[in-house]
């Protein structure tokens, strides 16, 4: 493909690394996981990818705040499939970018945007007033205050490991649910309690939880309703269905979002990386030509953080 030309409001970035996210392999598989009526129209050839970190090569005349040579990271044009980050160069909307935190490298930075923005927009600041396409409602983040109890299911994955850290940063008592091999990783990130779901059902171990972040979803998600206290909140990140009569009878609120690109939020999050309050877990890296193999690995799940494609060594 030719090096893309930039338009108004854009910068040209030489990509050093690109993060892999579920929408990338959903796209590769034909969007089968998405209801038919919600599948977007696509134009081919199509370059996948939304997350990236790299170095600015050119800046449109109307762009302020970025200059040639700046290291930047971002999630581009999401929701949608026009990010085109699985490439050596990408034309990026300046509004989707932030300066890369100095304390993390390009691989770590590329692994962060979609996952950390999802956790941030669920838990801290939605940053927009667009209704969720899944519920038709605008999500209202629950203010996390010291003393609250937050349970994160799928805590070792991309969104999960950031949700653990953000909840801890806000002063919550954090319970992480994952397989046993992730316990040390999650305790280092701040988890106060750990439940190995292969040995213990969360509903048998805890109760009275204020907030559940369920990054796994699926048909059995309702099992986590039992751990919530009356008036608690369930935040399903992946597709999950709940009986509205059941949640109403339990006094539980269910809310979800569609994560959206936001450079200003990434700039705020970047300060937490620089202050050492957030870390990026990198499960593994693959060179760009092996993106297909990376998708195969990612789709198997059970990751510890994110998979990242390396573009410039």
Q: Which of 142, 107, 131 is nearest to 228 (CA)?
A: 142
Question: So what's the pLDDT on residue 313?
Answer: 66
Length of the chain, in residues: 313
**pTM beyond 0.85, yes or no:** yes
Average pLDDT over residues 157-167: 98
**Contact of 21 with 86, CB cutoff 8 Å:** no
Average pLDDT over residues 232-241: 89
**For residues 240 and 115, which has the higher predicted lDDT (pLDDT)?**
115
Q: Tell me what the pLDDT averaged over the chain comes to.
A: 95
Q: How confident is the model at residue 217 (pLDDT cuts 50, 70, 90)?
A: confident
* Separation of alpha carbons 168 and 184, rounded Å: 16
Among 47-56, 176-185, 234-243, 263-272, which is the least confidently predicted range? 234-243
Tens of pLDDT, residues 106-136 = 999 999 999 999 999 999 999 999 998 888 8
Tens of pLDDT, residues 204-213 = 999 999 999 9
**Contact of 138 with 91, CB cutoff 8 Å:** no
For helices 263-274 and 113-123, angle between their N-to-C axes, nearest 10 degrees: 100
Q: How confident is the model at residue 250 (pLDDT cuts 50, 70, 90)?
A: very high
Q: What percent of the chain shows pLDDT beyond 90?
A: 86
Lookup: tokens for 235: 């935040």
Q: How confident is the model at residue 34 (pLDDT cuts 50, 70, 90)?
A: confident
Tens of pLDDT, residues 50-100 = 999 999 999 999 999 999 999 999 999 999 999 999 999 999 999 999 999
pLDDT score of 104 more than 80: yes
Question: So what's the pLDDT on residue 265?
Answer: 98
Average pLDDT over residues 241-255: 92
pLDDT score of 282 more than 90: yes
Lookup: tokens for 36: 């038919």
Q: How confident is the model at residue 238 (pLDDT cuts 50, 70, 90)?
A: confident
Could you please report the per-residue DSSP string of the chain?
-PPPPP-TTEEEEEEEEEE--HHHHHHHTTSTTS-GGGPPP--SS-----EEEEEEEEE-TT--S--TT-EEEEE-STTTT----SSSEEEEEGGGEEEPPTTS-HHHHHHSHHHHHHHHHHHT---S-PPPTTTSS---PPPP-TT-EEEEETTTSHHHHHHHHHHHHTT-EEEEEE-GGGHHHHHHTT-SEEEETTT--HHHH---EEEEEESS-STTGGGGGGGEEEEEEEEESS-----HHHHHHHT-EE--------HHHHHHHHHHHHTTS----EEEEEEGGGHHHHHHHHHH---SSEEEEE---
Question: So what's the pLDDT on residue 39?
Answer: 83
**Contact of 161 with 179, CB cutoff 8 Å:** no
């Amino acid at each position: 493909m030719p090096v893309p030309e930039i338009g108004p409001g854009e910068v040209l970035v030489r990509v050093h690394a690109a993060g892999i996210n579920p929408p990338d392999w959903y796209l590769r598989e034909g969007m089968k996981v998405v209801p038919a009526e919600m599948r977007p129209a696509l134009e081919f050839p199509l370059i996948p990818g939304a997350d990236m970190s790299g170095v600015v090569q050119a800046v449109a005349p109307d762009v302020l705040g970025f200059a040639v040579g700046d290291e930047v990271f971002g999630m581009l044009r999401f929701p949608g499939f026009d990010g085109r980050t699985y490439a050596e160069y990408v034309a990026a909307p300046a509004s989707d970018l932030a300066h890369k935190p100095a304390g993390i490298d390009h691989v770590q930075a590329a692994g962060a945007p979609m996952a950390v923005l999802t956790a941030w927009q669920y838990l801290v600041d939605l940053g927009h007033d667009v209704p969720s396409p899944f519920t038709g409602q605008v999500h209202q983040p629950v203010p996390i205050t010291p003393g609250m109890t937050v349970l994160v299911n799928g805590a070792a994955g991309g969104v999960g490991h950031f949700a653990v850290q953000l909840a801890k940063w806000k002063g919550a008592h954090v319970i992480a649910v994952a397989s046993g091999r992730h316990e040390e990783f999650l305790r280092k990130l701040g988890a106060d309690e750990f439940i190995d779901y292969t040995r213990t059902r969360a509903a048998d171990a805890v109760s009275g939880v204020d907030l559940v972040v369920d990054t796994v979803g699926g048909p059995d998600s309702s099992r986590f309703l039992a751990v919530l206290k009356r008036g608690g909140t369930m935040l399903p990140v992946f597709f999950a269905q709940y009986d509205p009569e059941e949640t109403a009878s339990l006094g539980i609120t269910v809310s979800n979002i569609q994560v959206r690109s936001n450079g200003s939020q990434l700039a705020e999050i970047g300060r937490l990386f620089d202050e050492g309050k957030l870390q990026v877990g990198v499960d593994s890296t693959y060179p760009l030509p092996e993106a297909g193999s990376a998708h195969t690995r990612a789709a198997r799940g059970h990751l510890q953080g994110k998979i990242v494609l390396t573009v410039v060594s």
